[in-house]
A and B are shown apart, each in its own frame.
Chain A
Amino acid sequence: MAPLPQSTGGVTPWWRNRRLIPWLVQGASGLALLVLVAFLLGNLVRNLTAAGLLLSWGWLDNPSGFDIAETLLPFNAGLPYWRALLAGLVNTVRVVVAGLVGATVLGTLVGTASFSSNGLLRRLARIYVEVIRNIPLLLQLVFWYFVVFLSLPNGTAAIQLPGLVLAKSGLYLFQPELVDGVWHAPLRFTVEFVALLTGLVVYTGAFIAEVVRGGVAAVPAGQWEAARSLGFNPLQTLRQIVLPQALRVIVPGLNSQYISLAKNSSLAVACGYTDLYSVAETTLNQTGRAVEVVLILLGAYLVIDLLISALMNGLNRAVQLRER
């Protein structure tokens, strides 16, 4: 800081002290904020107590009394609420992890396709991005579930490929068999899961494609030309020269797309998938513990997103340009 302009003779009065005043102002605003928050919290607790709604967590141990359609953890209606919420959380994590992988693959393919020398491929990539980006996700989920997947036939009429069957009831992998008109397979996903995953992947994929396109475009054209003159073919150039450099630009952008995907997964209820939000909603209605359930929801999504963020920041440090 530049030396303070001293007034001619005498001591600077305290209200003109450039060091003291910011401290005083900030301290006073901080104190006012604290008092306000304390007042609001105190009032909240007092009124919640008066309304008999003060936070309590004992209900988490009560039997839930409802069933969940598909779970990785075994669950039945006799198990307590916290087990139901846990099963919901696992379902959310399952669709988020699968969605992250799918959206990244799709986004990278489409993002790089927009640099293709093939004009048709380039235009298709642009059309995909522009159409998908500009339609609300909720509408897309409803479309995928009710229009696309629920129009699939069941039984023998289902779509059959080697090792794969796609029917109205779900996706069956690894040697599906038809027993009494119902498909069975070692690996089965319900149509609700498949619809939600498709919706999330297609939607987030469009945004990731833009992030990837931006990253690739940020690599100077000279790098492409240099690689070509060294005899690299286009695919090699992309994989070994351009993408490693583009990653530095891509990763921070990916981070926010990944976080969006995790949050958007709470739209699962639109297509009947039992995620954390859906379980929490049922719990809220059965117990009436609105504030607690919303707090659990907020906490869970916050933790998931912070985890994704931490992982991506780690990745970011790994791909960053290290200056020596």
Chain B
Amino acid sequence: MTLLRRLATAVPLIASLSLLGCASEDGGLQSQKLATITSRGKLVCGVDGKLPGFSFVGPDGSYSGLDVDVCKATAAAVLGDPARVDYRDLNSSERFAALASGEVDLLSRNTTHTLSRDAAGGNGLSFAPTVFYDGQGVMVPNSSGIKRLQDLAGKPICVESGTTTELNLADRMREIKAAYTPLKFQTGDQTYAAYLEGRCVAVTSDRSQLAGKRTSFPDPAAHTLLPEVLSKEPLSPATVNADPLWSDAVRWTVYALMQAEELGITQANVDAKVAEARANTNQADLRRFLGVEGDFGKQLGLPADFVVKAIKAVGNYGEIFERNVGMASKLKLERGLNRQWKDGGLIYSPPFR
């Protein structure tokens, strides 16, 4: 059945590639993806769907989370309406095939930006700016008495297959010369179920994901993150390499959220800011950013006011962070590396000009 599912994603890929006409060669400045999304009237966004704080289905069937807000912001920028998103839950093994086959337009699913995923000779993705700077961690039950990575020598560790964490774990354990047993599962649910059943003494993943999953455990306080950070995990939305115009549109929508925080534009005051920009011809920066003057939207193939629509939909980056994973959420994560560059973090939008 799983094989079937893999085939189900691989076969359309092969079929679409073999049936693809040669007409697209003279595409010029036309993005096929943008045209498809506009005519469809919906953005199809690949998410995890089971990760509190990043993408999670609520009791009423609505999606929420940091990754989901990126989908909403993009839908608002392209289509003018954050609700026009079709979400697809993807596990970590399915995600790249789903993106490559065109089943989803945008992958916003806590995906680590790496060379082999980016390269045309590898997965051939195009990454948008990092929306969450993360690192790999290891979680253990308090009762296990495990305090450091070395204590895990000879022990079974649960890990989700098809993730960078699987490889980092192998590398780090080899470095410290500790043999261990990796127990690999296809989905996060299975991984955490096996951990909670006590099959593994530890589970490893991105630290944000561990913190998110822990909130749904029966007794969250009974589990601790080890102090070691095993790797750099810059989590970024991704699109296919083949359509650079669409990739640019997503990239600058994400940058707009970051730039908005830097300029102090929030969901609440964006309308006031637009009025201010309209009234005040001297504020050229603000006017260009909000699309009051200039043609940034047109250059990207987006409506002129795409920045305003995105901010109205989900707020600026800081608001998105606080609401979903920050102190205002159950996860209670520090901003840490995810502060604005002016505050010593890594969130930095190139200039809008």
Residues of A at the B interface (CB closer than 8 Å) are 40-41, 43-44, 47-48, 51-53, 65-70, 76-78, 136-138, 146, 150-151, 154, 168-169, 191-192, 263, 266-267, 269-270, 272, 274, 277-278, 281-282, 284-288, 290-291, 294, 297, 301
Ordered nearest first, which 7 A-B pairs have the shortest CB separation?
A285-B162, A288-B123, A44-B18, A150-B197, A47-B17, A77-B170, A52-B120
Residue contact B194 to A150, C-beta cutoff 8 Å: yes
The number of chain B residues with a CB under 8 A from chain A is: 49
Chain B residue at minimum C-beta to C-beta distance from A269: B186
Chain A residue at minimum C-beta to C-beta distance from B119: A288
Distance in Å: Cβ of A178 to nearest Cβ of chain B: 15
Distance in Å: Cβ of A283 to nearest Cβ of chain B: 9
Cα distance, A47 to B181, chains bound together (Å)? 41
Cα distance, A70 to B180, chains bound together (Å)? 11
Residue contact B185 to A269, C-beta cutoff 8 Å: yes
Cα distance, A139 to B284, chains bound together (Å)? 61
Distance in Å: Cβ of A89 to nearest Cβ of chain B: 14
Residues of B at the A interface (CB closer than 8 Å) are 1-3, 6-7, 10, 13-14, 17-20, 92-93, 96-97, 100, 116-117, 120-124, 156, 161-163, 166-167, 169-171, 173-174, 180-186, 190, 193-194, 197-199, 242
Residue contact B171 to A77, C-beta cutoff 8 Å: yes
A43/B181 contact (C-beta < 8 A), A284-B93, A288-B96 known:
no
Residue contact A286 to B167, C-beta cutoff 8 Å: yes
Residue contact B167 to A66, C-beta cutoff 8 Å: yes
Cα distance, A270 to B92, chains bound together (Å)? 14
Distance in Å: Cβ of A91 to nearest Cβ of chain B: 12
Distance in Å: Cβ of B190 to nearest Cβ of chain A: 7
Distance in Å: Cβ of A196 to nearest Cβ of chain B: 13
In the bound complex, residues from chain A placing their C-beta under 8 Å from that of B171 are 65, 77
Cα distance, A282 to B162, chains bound together (Å)? 5
Cα distance, A53 to B169, chains bound together (Å)? 29
Chain B residue at minimum C-beta to C-beta distance from A52: B120
Residue contact B3 to A285, C-beta cutoff 8 Å: no
In the bound complex, residues from chain B placing their C-beta under 8 Å from that of A78 are 174
Among B170, B193, B198, the residue within 8 A (CB) of A168 is B198
Among B3, B10, B190, the residue within 8 A (CB) of A266 is B3
Residue contact B174 to A66, C-beta cutoff 8 Å: no
- Which of the listed residues B161, B166, B180 has the most CB atoms from chain A within 10 Å of its own CB? B161
Among B97, B174, B198, the residue within 8 A (CB) of A150 is B198
Residue contact B194 to A281, C-beta cutoff 8 Å: no
**5 residue pairs A–B, Cβ–Cβ below 8 Å:** A76-B174, A136-B1, A138-B1, A146-B197, A272-B183
Residue contact A67 to B170, C-beta cutoff 8 Å: yes
A277/B190 contact (C-beta < 8 A), A288-B116, A291-B10 known:
no
Residue contact A168 to B20, C-beta cutoff 8 Å: no
Residue contact B1 to A267, C-beta cutoff 8 Å: yes
Residue contact B2 to A291, C-beta cutoff 8 Å: no
Chain B residue at minimum C-beta to C-beta distance from A146: B193
Residue contact A44 to B17, C-beta cutoff 8 Å: yes
In the bound complex, residues from chain B placing their C-beta under 8 Å from that of A263 are 3
Residue contact A47 to B161, C-beta cutoff 8 Å: no
Residue contact A294 to B10, C-beta cutoff 8 Å: yes
Residue contact B166 to A40, C-beta cutoff 8 Å: no
In the bound complex, residues from chain B placing their C-beta under 8 Å from that of A291 are 10, 13-14
In the bound complex, residues from chain A placing their C-beta under 8 Å from that of B19 are 40, 43
Distance in Å: Cβ of B152 to nearest Cβ of chain A: 13
Residue contact A270 to B167, C-beta cutoff 8 Å: no
In the bound complex, residues from chain A placing their C-beta under 8 Å from that of B18 are 40-41, 43-44, 47
Cα distance, A68 to B170, chains bound together (Å)? 10
Cα distance, A315 to B276, chains bound together (Å)? 86
Chain B residue at minimum C-beta to C-beta distance from A70: B181
A288/B167 contact (C-beta < 8 A), A44-B18, A272-B183, A281-B93 known:
no
Cα distance, A77 to B168, chains bound together (Å)? 11
Cα distance, A294 to B12, chains bound together (Å)? 13
Residue contact A285 to B190, C-beta cutoff 8 Å: no
Residue contact B156 to A47, C-beta cutoff 8 Å: no
A277/B3 contact (C-beta < 8 A), A69-B182, A269-B186, A282-B166 known:
yes
Chain B residue at minimum C-beta to C-beta distance from A272: B183
- Which of the listed residues A44, A138, A274 has the most CB atoms from chain B within 10 Å of its own CB? A44
Among A40, A65, A282, the residue within 8 A (CB) of B184 is A282
Residue contact B20 to A47, C-beta cutoff 8 Å: yes
Residue contact B124 to A69, C-beta cutoff 8 Å: no
A281/B186 contact (C-beta < 8 A), A43-B18, A297-B3 known:
yes
A288/B117 contact (C-beta < 8 A), A43-B20, A269-B161, A270-B190 known:
yes
